[in-house]
């Protein structure tokens, strides 16, 4: 291992790998990411992707992408494609090593024949209920199947006939012959093959027997020469079976290593539950910006860098934990703060008429995209037009302001960011007493928002010239679930009861400065004082832009840390 290949971050997994490299069990590092194509990838998968690809990179090794497509019933081509898009977007490359477990069906079948010939597998005629009954429980040993002692010849014949499609679903299984008294239920003669008369998205109708996960996974790892098969903790009890398969067959023996899966507060992470959210219409689709899917997060304005940083910060552990959503948002905010151009957008507009500004006059200010503290000599700027009628934020005006309110009020002077000082002279209301318009005057000497004398104003407001404004829809998001743990429900309750009815707020008539007409998907903006936004990749149309709020400006994570 060369100097630059020393892992950036050591953890219990890299310690195991270091040992293997030292004691000669392995001379290389080869990992895999093995998604089942039954849904879109979520942030939990991102943790696994970063881990598998990151470790291989750190050790100068390789990572395969392998679709674990052994269950023909729930899998779809749509998912195969989205998964690849998402991994590439996240910044990882499997080069020419794209594999499918289904590519190995023939080889796995041959291995099963070998197990039968070794007397280590048998065809069992028990049905699902009987299998469960014979299996025993955690406290009681199981019972041997009455078919356990079939001859090798009979087993070979029956298994071949299973493959040939002679039997109905559920009538026969191929089982490993291990130990029905094992304290580990996974070793009680586990099923290796079942009959499924189902169409497979790649192998079509070629097969009607399908290998079970544990068997298929161990063999796929071995076939590909995977040295370290990193998976989540729920497979810890399956490792003895994983090892049994490889040992019994005497083939290349990958090392399975388990780590704790990522759980995030205020959301759910299982594909089945995410699918339920889509199917029941709680969200618009898998890539709804509220979803913890990578496609949803990308649409929301998450960057691959932010997600990779997050994966790095949370690290890997053996113990289950729940990571605060606020940490993920904090990392995103940090990343966007560094890259997002600052622009002015009025979310809830209130018209301001500047009485002493000529109605036919227009001027533009050359305004840097980044704050002055960061502005370099070649800092990019844009032209911001100004005219007699502008919009300000409705919440930036109060007719009877409390003492701490420093923004606009009758008779008060404030600064329009980068423009002029204005003073409110008159308030226009409708029949219901609602403020509909403000009349102001401006000080021509304060051009650029500079004080013309020693006069100080406390408030600085963002604004948009009414004549030049672009109308847009803004989508403001909140968490999908109200509780940190959505599964915190009474016995008869359902996690869906904790869904947040206000997770999406739509603003239909926001006013944007004109430069945003050129915004494209993949650009990031800070709408000053409002948050980070990006153009929606699905619903935006020319002349009718839709912007998603990626995240607000308030760092709730920092606040949480202070309060701890």
Q: What is the rounded CA–CA span in Å between residue 437 and residue 353?
A: 7
Query: Choosing among Mg ion, ligand ATP, none, which partner's interface includes residue 255 (Cβ < 5 to 8 Å by kind)?
Result: none
Binding-site member from 13, 35, 65, 527 for ligand ATP (CB under 6 A): 35
**Subset of residues 331 to 390 that bind ligand ATP, contact rule: CB under 6 A:** none
* Strand 30-33 to 62-67 pairing: parallel
* Residues 525 and 534 sit within 8 Å (Cβ to Cβ): yes
Tokens 């004398």 belong to residue: 453
Only segment of 42-50, 322-330, 441-449, 531-539 that touches ligand ATP (CB under 6 A)? 42-50
Specify the residue, 65 or 469, whose C-beta has the smaller distance to Mg ion.
65
Specify the residue, 216 or 422, whose C-beta has the smaller distance to ligand ATP.
216
**Subset of residues 225 to 284 that bind ligand ATP, contact rule: CB under 6 A:** 231-232, 261-262, 269-271
Could you say which DSSP state residue 561 is in?
A: H
* Residues 465 and 359 sit within 8 Å (Cβ to Cβ): no
Q: What is the rounded CA–CA span in Å between residue 289 and residue 551?
A: 11
Tokens 């998976």 belong to residue: 231
Residues 6+ away with beta carbon under 8 Å from 539: 473, 546
* Residues 442 and 361 sit within 8 Å (Cβ to Cβ): no
H-helix or E-strand containing 216? helix 213-224
267 burial level (CB within 10 Å; 0-12, 13-18, 19+): buried
Q: Take residue 522 and report the two structure tokens written for it.
A: 């993949």
294 burial level (CB within 10 Å; 0-12, 13-18, 19+): buried
DSSP tally for the chain: helices H, then strands E = 13, 27
Minimum distance from CB of 217 to Mg ion (Å)?
Answer: 10
95 catalytically annotated? no
Only segment of 43-51, 53-61, 144-152, 517-525 that touches ligand ATP (CB under 6 A)? 43-51
Minimum distance from CB of 36 to Mg ion (Å)?
Answer: 5
Which residue among 271, 298, 300, 511 is the active-site one?
Answer: 271
Q: Which of 486, 462, 485, 314 is nearest to 396 (CA)?
A: 462
454 catalytically annotated? no
Residues counted in the chain: 564
Query: Choosing among Mg ion, ligand ATP, none, which partner's interface includes residue 158 (Cβ < 5 to 8 Å by kind)?
Result: none
Tokens 């050790």 belong to residue: 59
* Residues 13 and 58 sit within 8 Å (Cβ to Cβ): no
Minimum distance from CB of 261 to ligand ATP (Å)?
Answer: 3
Q: Which of 65, 73, 66, 33 is nearest to 49 (CA)?
A: 33
Tokens 């707020």 belong to residue: 505
* Residues 375 and 548 sit within 8 Å (Cβ to Cβ): no
36 catalytically annotated? yes
At what angle are helices 105-117 and 213-224 packed, to 10 degrees?
110
Minimum distance from CB of 47 to ligand ATP (Å)?
Answer: 4
Q: Mapped to the 3 state alphabet, what secondary structure does 164-182 carry?
A: CCCCCCCCCEEEECCCCCC
* Residues 220 and 68 sit within 8 Å (Cβ to Cβ): yes
Specify the residue, 151 or 270, whose C-beta has the smaller distance to ligand ATP.
270
Residues 6+ away with beta carbon under 8 Å from 364: 383, 384, 385, 386
H-helix or E-strand containing 244? helix 239-249
Query: Choosing among Mg ion, ligand ATP, none, which partner's interface includes residue 103 (Cβ < 5 to 8 Å by kind)?
Result: none
**How many of the chain's residues bind Mg ion (CB under 5 A)?**
1
Specify the residue, 48 or 173, whose C-beta has the smaller distance to ligand ATP.
48
Query: Choosing among ligand ATP, Mg ion, none, which partner's interface includes residue 91 (Cβ < 5 to 8 Å by kind)?
Result: none
By CB under 5 A, is residue 36 in contact with Mg ion? yes
Only segment of 30-38, 53-61, 453-461, 529-537 that touches Mg ion (CB under 5 A)? 30-38
Specify the residue, 188 or 271, whose C-beta has the smaller distance to ligand ATP.
271
Only segment of 39-47, 185-193, 414-422, 493-501 that touches ligand ATP (CB under 6 A)? 39-47
Minimum distance from CB of 538 to ligand ATP (Å)?
Answer: 23
Query: Choosing among Mg ion, ligand ATP, none, which partner's interface includes residue 232 (Cβ < 5 to 8 Å by kind)?
Result: ligand ATP
Specify the residue, 45 or 238, whose C-beta has the smaller distance to ligand ATP.
45
* Strand 389-393 to 463-465 pairing: antiparallel
Within 83-172, strands assigned E span: 98-100, 121-124
Specify the residue, 45 or 228, whose C-beta has the smaller distance to ligand ATP.
45
By CB under 6 A, is residue 34 in contact with ligand ATP? yes
Q: Which residue is nearest to Mg ion (CB)?
A: 36
* Residues 273 and 264 sit within 8 Å (Cβ to Cβ): no
By CB under 6 A, is residue 322 in contact with ligand ATP? no
Query: Choosing among ligand ATP, Mg ion, none, which partner's interface includes residue 157 (Cβ < 5 to 8 Å by kind)?
Result: none
Which residue among 194, 261, 339, 351 is the active-site one?
Answer: 261
By CB under 6 A, is residue 150 in contact with ligand ATP? no
By CB under 6 A, is residue 84 in contact with ligand ATP? no
Specify the residue, 36 or 363, whose C-beta has the smaller distance to Mg ion.
36
Only segment of 33-41, 216-224, 317-325, 422-430 that touches ligand ATP (CB under 6 A)? 33-41
Minimum distance from CB of 175 to ligand ATP (Å)?
Answer: 23
Minimum distance from CB of 86 to ligand ATP (Å)?
Answer: 12
Specify the residue, 69 or 513, whose C-beta has the smaller distance to ligand ATP.
69
Minimum distance from CB of 71 to ligand ATP (Å)?
Answer: 10
By CB under 6 A, is residue 330 in contact with ligand ATP? no
Residues that are catalytic:
36, 261, 271
Residues found near Mg ion in the complex (CB under 5 A): 36
Binding site for ligand ATP (CB under 6 A): 34-36, 44-45, 47-48, 231-232, 261-262, 269-271
């Amino acid at each position: 291992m060369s100097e630059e290949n020393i892992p950036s971050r050591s953890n219990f997994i890299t310690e195991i790998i270091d040992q293997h490299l030292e004691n000669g069990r392995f001379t290389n590092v080869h990992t895999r990411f093995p998604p089942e194509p039954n849904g879109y990838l979520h942030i939990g998968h991102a943790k696994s992707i970063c881990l598998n690809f990151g470790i291989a990179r750190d050790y100068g090794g390789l990572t395969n992408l392998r679709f674990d497509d052994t269950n023909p019933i729930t899998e779809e081509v749509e998912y195969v494609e989205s998964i690849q898009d998402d991994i590439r977007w996240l910044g990882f490359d499997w080069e020419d090593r794209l594999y499918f477990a289904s590519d190995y069906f023939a080889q796995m079948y041959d291995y099963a024949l070998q197990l039968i010939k070794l007397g280590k597998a048998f065809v069992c005629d028990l049905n699902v209920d009987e299998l469960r009954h014979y299996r025993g429980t955690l406290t009681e040993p199981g019972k041997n199947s009455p078919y356990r002692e079939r001859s090798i010849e009979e087993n070979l014949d029956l298994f071949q006939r299973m493959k040939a499609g002679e039997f109905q679903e559920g009538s026969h299984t191929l089982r490993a012959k291990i130990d029905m008294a094992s304290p580990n239920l996974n070793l009680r003669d586990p099923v290796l093959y079942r009959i499924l008369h189902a169409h497979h998205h790649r192998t079509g109708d070629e097969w009607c027997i399908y290998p079970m996960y544990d068997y298929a996974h161990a063999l796929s790892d071995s076939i590909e020469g995977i040295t370290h098969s990193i998976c989540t903790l729920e497979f810890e009890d399956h490792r003895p079976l994983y090892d049994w398969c490889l040992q019994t067959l005497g083939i290349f023996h990958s090392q399975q290593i388990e780590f704790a899966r990522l759980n995030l507060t205020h959301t759910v992470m299982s594909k089945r539950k995410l699918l339920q959210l889509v199917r029941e219409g709680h969200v618009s689709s898998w890539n709804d910006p509220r979803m913890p899917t990578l496609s949803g997060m990308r649409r929301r304005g998450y960057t691959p860098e932010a997600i990779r940083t997050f994966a790095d910060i949370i690290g890997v552990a053996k113990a289950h934990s729940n990571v605060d959503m606020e940490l993920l948002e904090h990392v995103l905010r940090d990343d966007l703060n560094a890259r997002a151009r600052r622009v002015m957008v009025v979310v809830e507009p209130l018209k301001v008429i500047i009485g002493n500004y000529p109605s036919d006059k227009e001027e533009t200010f050359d305004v840097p995209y980044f704050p002055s503290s960061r502005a370099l000599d070649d800092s990019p700027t844009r032209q911001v037009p100004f005219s007699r009628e502008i919009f300000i934020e409705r919440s930036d005006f109060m007719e009877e302001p409390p003492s701490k309110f420093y923004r606009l009020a009758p008779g008060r002077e404030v600064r329009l960011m980068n423009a002029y000082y204005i003073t409110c002279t008159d308030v226009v209301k409708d029949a219901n007493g609602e403020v509909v318009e403000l009349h102001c005057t401006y000080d021509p000497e304060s051009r650029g928002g500079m004080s013309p004398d020693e006069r100080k104003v406390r408030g600085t407001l963002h604004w948009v010239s009414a004549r030049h404004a672009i109308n847009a829809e803004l989508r403001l998001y909140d968490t999908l679930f109200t509780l940190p743990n959505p599964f915190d429900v009474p016995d008869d309750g359902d996690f869906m009861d904790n869904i947040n009815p206000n997770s999406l707020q739509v603003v239909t008539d926001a006013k944007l400065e004109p430069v945003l007409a050129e915004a494209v998907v993949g650009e990031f903006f800070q709408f000053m004082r409002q948050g980070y936004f990006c153009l929606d990749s699905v619903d935006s149309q020319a002349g009718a832009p839709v912007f998603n709020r990626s995240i607000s400006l308030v760092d709730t994570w920092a606040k949480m840390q202070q309060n701890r």
